[in-house]
Amino acid sequence: RPARSARSAARPAMSLSRHDRIFDKFLLQRAVQTQIYYLNELHDQPSARFIANFLDHQGIDTYHGFDGLRVDAEDYIQKLLESPPTTVQVRSSWGSVSWGGSPGNPHLSQHASATHDFVVYPDRIGAALLRVRDQIADEVSADLDVLAGCDADFWRQRESGAAHATLADGSSTAESSPTRRATFDLLQKLTLHVAVKQTLLVLSRERRGGLAPGSGGASGGGGGEPSARHAWLERKFAQSGFLCGDQGFGTSRLFLDSLAAHGAVVVRPDISADLDGARAEARTDGCTIVDPREIANQILDVRMLLAKHFKGRLEGVHARGTDQLRNRLERSLRAKF
């Protein structure tokens, strides 16, 4: 376990608010995916298909990534609330005209069917979506506390082989959304992705002399010079690739474990190439030793700050949704009168 250097001041030199947009989009994406689940459970497939394909988001219902929403959260909701009712044709089928029965009965060669119109009301879907987002926000707020506690205890868990972070309520309960476990995994991916980005920004500022080492949530002192740490982490982050997109469960832990298990490396100033320990002895002039475990500490420090920041951001979710509903109603009334 690496010695953990003193953490920076609680107020980072580089604002974390720059990451609010991606967090808001993630929260709404999970609300959309949860609402699609609810609509399918209620056998309202027309509404489920409408929201799944809204603004060209085909496939979002099965996408396991934090970057599935292509537009800003507020724009998505506004366009959904202002979309006019849409009539779609729904086809229903059953066994046969003569005998009835199930449409899935393989012994019936001719199935009967009928087509009828179904009206989808996007404004109602939007209002329900805001309520689902409130539910997801409450769950994410609790799970951010779990995540921060797990990060603070990362090295002890790793050394003892303890289980990874679990949801605040353990297994899903009647009060939890059916997508909560997947949401928690994506929350880990999102916060780690943003923490690495923030750490790279801080190291870049330190390299240019704009910040004192350790500002912006990254631990100072140790781990190599800022320029060497930045070069190594930037390449490591680009090579990993599995924090973005639909890459399955547990990828955030894989990235942290890869840093924690990595031995010290030597970074050359000219090509930023790391050398294994056997070759490092003969080529130390102008090189910097980088400790990936210390970089992992920096990232964990930043992610704990992010968890606190995002938790504060969640406090305004309900108010922002209420404002959008009120603004939509005011625009509707002005259009009528």
**Does residue 68 register a pLDDT over 70?**
yes
State the number of CA atoms in the 13 A half-sphere of 332 facing the CB: 12
Number of neighbouring beta carbons within 10 Å of residue 11: 11
Q: Residue 104 — very low, low, confident or very high, per pLDDT cuts 50/70/90?
A: low
Distances (CA, A) of 108 to 93, 103, 111: 12, 8, 7
Question: For 71-96, what is the mean pLDDT?
Answer: 87
Reply yes or no on whether the pLDDT at 126 is more than 90. Answer: yes
Q: Does 332 or 22 have the greater pLDDT score?
A: 22
**To 10 degrees, the CA torsion angle through 219, 222, 227, 231?**
-90
Residue-wise DSSP of 53-78: HTTS-TTGGG--SS----S-HHHHHH
- The 10s digit of each residue's pLDDT in 175-203 is 688 999 999 999 999 999 999 999 999 99
Average pLDDT of the residues of the chain: 80
The sign of the torsion formed by the CA atoms of 164, 165, 167, 169 equals positive
pLDDT computed for residue 1 by the predictor: 54
This prediction has a pTM of 0.80
- Pick 100 or 91 by higher pLDDT: 91
Highest-confidence segment of 160-169, 284-293, 319-328 = 319-328
The pLDDT assigned to 269 comes to 63
Distance between CA 295 and CA 252 in Å, rounded? 15
pLDDT digits (tens, 9 = 90+) for 3-34: 554 444 334 446 889 999 999 999 999 999 99
d(CA 174, CA 307) in angstroms, rounded, equals 26
